Amino acid sequence: MAERAPVGSRVAALVSGLDSCIMAGLLAREYAEVTPLFVRAGLRWEDAELAALERFFSALDAPSVRPIVELAFDIRSVYGSHWSVGGSEVPDAQQPDEMWYLPGRNLLLLGAAALYGGVHETPNLAIGLLASNPFPDATTEFLRSLERTAGLAMDTSFRVLTPLGDMHKDDVVRAGVGMPVEEALSCASPVDGRHCGVCGKCGERRRGFIDAGVEDPTDYVELGPL
């Protein structure tokens, strides 16, 4: 699921945690204008995540990166008691991948990005999917279908870019060396803006730095089992 060759000089980049921050930093080296899009859906970690994104991009200090655009599409009435909206306990680092599935997450993110891109004439939409993503809304088939459907709906054409599509977590960590990655938040249960160190997202982050052989600068509240 490698990214196709870029067209044009503008890209809207969906941003949230570590992977997408690094993706945006890489895009900033290639595009004249990168607009970070943060989709607020009512998930439990979003306030801390947005604050971290502001710190990351301020520290990155890349001239091509525009201010973060916040888009609100509240999913709480759909997700109900799902753990991501506070309905139950956050899965820890020893839980299987399926426990981390957010139904239709990429459909929501890319749909929001396409609406923004159609209105603001930004046809390149980037999302930080990794090669290891096992979920149905991360497949090439889905992404090409989304391009076609969103293009028909907005009477334009879109390109969904996946700059990290051939990478695993350790590859992404290596690609982010030199970026202010300590500011990017990858935690489903942050404590006063800090990484809890116990949830599955923290576990994935910790393993990524270990596997990459890169020193982890993250401030964890505690270190749970991996």
Q: Which domain holds residue 159?
A: 10-212
Answer whether 165's CB lies under 8 Å from 130's CB: yes
Within-domain flag for 49: yes
Within-domain flag for 223: no
SS3 61: coil
CB atoms within 10 A of CB 209: 20
Give me the CATH number covering residue 70: 3.40.50.620
Within-domain flag for 164: yes
Q: How many domains does the chain have?
A: 1
User: pLDDT in tens for each of the 226 residues of the chain?
Assistant: 445 445 568 999 999 999 999 999 999 999 999 999 999 999 989 999 999 999 999 999 999 999 999 999 998 888 888 777 776 677 666 676 667 677 788 999 999 999 999 999 999 999 999 998 888 888 999 999 999 999 999 999 999 999 999 999 999 999 999 999 999 999 999 999 999 999 999 999 999 999 999 999 999 999 988 8
Within-domain flag for 3: no
pTM of the complete model: 0.91
CA–CA separation, 127 vs 203, rounded Å?
Answer: 22
Within-domain flag for 26: yes
